[in-house]
Amino acid sequence: MSAVAAVGTESGPGAAGADRVIQGKRTGRLKGLAVIGFMLAVVAWSIDGTIIADTDWSRIGGPKGVFSSLGRFLQLDLGVLPHLIVPMIETFMIACLGTLLGCLFSLPVAWLGAANVTPSRLVAYPIGRFLMVLSRSVHEIVWALLFVSAVGLGALPGILAVAMRSVGFISKITAEAIENIDKKPVEAIRAVGGNEFQVMYYGIVPQILPVVLGVVIFEWDINIRRSAVMGLVGAGGLGLLFFRQMNMFNYGGVTMVVLAILVLILIGETVSHFARKAVT
Amino acid sequence: MVFGIILFLAYSIAFLNIDLGRLPGAFGRLASFIANRYYPPDLDYVMEGGYLLSVLDTLRMSFLGGVFGVMIAIPLAWFGAFNVTPSRILLYPFGRFSIMSCRAIHETIWTILFVSILGFGMLAGVLALTVFCIGFAGKLFADEIEAIDKGPVEAIRATGANALQVFVFAVFPQVRVAFTGIAIYTWDVAFRAATVVGFFGGGGMGWYLKRNIQQLETERVGAIILSIIVLVLIAEGLSGQVRKRVARAKYGAVDQSAKARLIRRFCLPLFSILVTMTLPISPVR
């Protein structure tokens, strides 16, 4: 609002301009208040519809019930510890393989979805963009359900689901990087007689490689989180252990699995932090 | 080092007992699966009142999760920003650690934990989405605060203001527009998470997904997945438009009134549609 005032006093015709500016400030403030009031109304309406209408308050048991439930989670069951190692390695491997497969899938999608290298701006470009959005809209659990019904239980559907989910983000950033490249190296290589493959390999790839590696490492970090929950629907890793502990009502064991996930995430964050510094 | 990574990946494939022979056929099988079982999708099922009400519930849950998550994420991001945090020894690690731990655990695991403490229903779902949004928005907010211009901060500090005043008068005006864009993006991502929160007991569309999968009603599952895709696409389009207008409003000549006008233009018809959807359906519930 102060920016509007500054512009108004500089370019408005004297007193009439100043009046218009003051009027603009008043209506601008009223409109801002209207937006906030409207949002508060929607919040209140939402709370009423979801929490107040749907919650069985007696079953929760009040603050005492909640705290006793929390206490059950805090009684760590250390007997689960030796059973954690193999699923942790599995989850880590699912994340790695899933990210790699996602990279492979996102290369053609990024090529389709980049406005300057796409083969057809009318047909291929929208297809590429739509595939990117589709991959990001469908939650990884839904992908996992689809793949478990297609290829059976185990680690493979988890890897495929993680790969399909990662394609969206990696290909989007890659496509944007391709669209932002400097044309001069590309023209230079074409000028000395390079074919399309050499143009891509020596002209485009060196320019986009740091960005792409950075986003792949970032996505690998996020995929560790996703791989941990693939097991909840049967796709292997720590999620399966989580599911079993939950079904046995072994809340202490559940906490141990959550701690194992946190350890994996910590490793992933540390590696990704240093790897991204080394790459960019 | 690249060779080591390749070796590790080859070992992983053996360790996980992955039958590579199944891989080439996997997409063919998936395609035939979708063609045979999920098609034709049972569109009548997703058009009836109970399901549409759950869609409305999912929208409301994601909205609440976004609003509460963003509200809590702003002070946490302030603590977690190294340049303007009020206490570098105490509050900075606290802020960073809170945001990281909210982010580290997947939203479905948060849902399961909250459901086991609070029972099935949307309270658990809303809390799980709130925690997810704190992690998601908090990281983006903290990175945004750490990238601000030092000038106004030093100026306000020079007048003798305390940390809170520095935040309100020097930091917040600079990041306000970026925060609005991040908040809208967070709601968009929260809606995608909200569609499967119901799968684990948190209320909303996911519950219908789980029930129909367990009952092997694959045509209804296809319709539900289709509806999820359509809704997420609509939400992403909407949020993209609003974010573009907000960003343009910052750099254009006319700001606040255009932004407010645009949000009202989108929200008022949407709100009235949602209300009219609720009214005839409420007696059913």
**Chain segment A113-129, per-residue pLDDT in tens:** 888 878 788 888 889 98
pLDDT above 70 (res A24): no
Please check whether residue B71 touches A, CB under 8 A: no
Split at pLDDT 50, 70, 90, the class of B69 is very high
Banded model confidence at residue B268, pLDDT cuts 50, 70, 90: low
Name the residue with tokens 């359906």: B281
Given a cut of 60, is residue B260 above it in pLDDT?
A: no
**Closest residue of chain B to A44, computed from CA coordinates:** B64
Those of residues 242-281 in B touching chain A at CB distance below 8 A are 253-257, 260-261, 263-264, 267, 271, 278
User: Rounded CA gap, B279 and B18, in Å?
Assistant: 52
Percent of chain B with pLDDT over 90: 30
pLDDT surpassing 80 at residue B17: no
Q: What is the mean pLDDT of chain A?
A: 84
Across residues A104-110, what is the average pLDDT? 90
Inspect the interface and report whether the beta carbons of A35 and B264 lie closer than 8 Å.
yes
**pLDDT score at A100:** 92
B6–A contact, CB cutoff 8 A:
no
Alpha carbons B181 and B245: distance in angstroms, whole number:
10
Q: Are B85 and B78 in contact (CB under 8 A)?
A: yes
pLDDT of A75: 84
- How close A63 gets to chain B, by Cα (Å)? 11
pLDDT, chain B, mean: 83
Fold of B45-280: MetI-like fold (1.10.3720)
DSSP string, B87-122: -TTTHHHHHHHHHHHHHHS-HHHHHHHHHHHH-SSH
Closest Cβ–Cβ partner in B26, B67, B123 for A160? B26
The verdict on a CB contact (< 8 Å) between B225 and A66 is no
Cβ contact (<8 Å) for A150 and B30?
yes
Among B31-45, B129-143, B260-274, where is mean pLDDT lowest? B260-274
- What domains can you pick out in chain A, each with its CATH number? 2-55 (no CATH), 79-279 (1.10.3720.10)
Domain boundaries, chain B: 45-280
Chain A: closest CA distance from residue B269 (Å): 13
pLDDT of residue A45: 80
What distance in Å separates residue A45's CA from the closest CA in chain B?
Answer: 9
**What are the chain B neighbours of A225 within 8 Å (beta carbons)?**
104-106
Of the pLDDT bands very low, low, confident and very high (cuts 50, 70, 90), residue B275 is low
pLDDT value, residue B10: 83
Q: How confident is the model at residue B251 (pLDDT cuts 50, 70, 90)?
A: low
pLDDT at B66: 92
- Among residues B218, B196, B220, the alpha carbon closest in space to that of B50 is found at B220
Q: Search chain A and give the residue with CA nearest B57.
A: A50
**pLDDT range class, residue B255, cuts 50, 70, 90:** very low
Candidate from A45-59, A228-242, B201-215 with smallest mean pLDDT: A45-59
Cβ distance B106 to A236 less than 8 Å, yes or no, reads: no
pLDDT of res. B131: 96
Chain B (172-191) residues lying within 8 Å, Cβ to Cβ, of chain A: none
Q: What are phi and psi of B83, to 5 degrees?
A: -80, -30
CB B106 within 8 A of CB A264: no
User: Cβ A141–B12 below 8 Å, yes or no?
Assistant: no
pLDDT tens digits, one per residue of B211-249: 988 888 888 888 898 899 899 989 988 888 888 887 776
- Length of chain A, in residues: 280
In this predicted structure, the answer to whether residue B279 has a pLDDT above a threshold of 60 is no
ipTM for the assembly:
0.82
Separation in Å, CA of B241 to nearest CA in chain A: 15
Q: Does B15 lie at the interface with A, CB-CB under 8 angstroms?
A: yes
B23 interface with A at CB cutoff 8 Å = yes
pLDDT of residue B172: 87
B228 lies within 8 A of chain A by CB: yes
Chain A residues inside the 8 Å CB shell of B174: none
Does residue B63 or residue B19 have the better pLDDT?
B63
Residue A103 has pLDDT above 90, yes or no: yes
> Does pLDDT of A226 surpass 90?
yes
d(CA B16, CA B34): 27
Mean pLDDT of A251-280: 89
pLDDT for the residue numbered B285: 36
What pLDDT, on a 0 to 100 scale, did the predictor assign at position A1?
46
Of residues B8 and B93, the one with the higher pLDDT is B93
Residue B105 and residue A59: Cβ atoms within 8 Å? no
Place of tokens 């809340």: A251
Amino acid making up residue B145: I
> What are the residue ranges of helices labelled H in chain B?
2-15, 22-33, 43-46, 49-79, 91-104, 107-118, 122-146, 150-158, 163-166, 172-197, 205-214, 218-251, 256-281
Would the pLDDT of B63 be above 60? Answer: yes
The mean per-residue pLDDT over the stretch A55-76 comes to 81
> H/E element holding B42?
none
> Which residues of chain A neighbour B123 with C-beta distances below 8 Å?
50-51, 54-55
More confident residue, B236 or A31: B236
Q: Which of A134, A139, A262 sits opposite B196 (nearest CB)?
A: A139
How does pLDDT run across A143-179, given as a tens digit for each residue?
998 888 888 888 889 999 999 999 999 999 999 998 8
The residue-averaged pLDDT of A34-52 equals 80
Report pLDDT digits (tens) over B148-163. 888 888 898 898 888 8
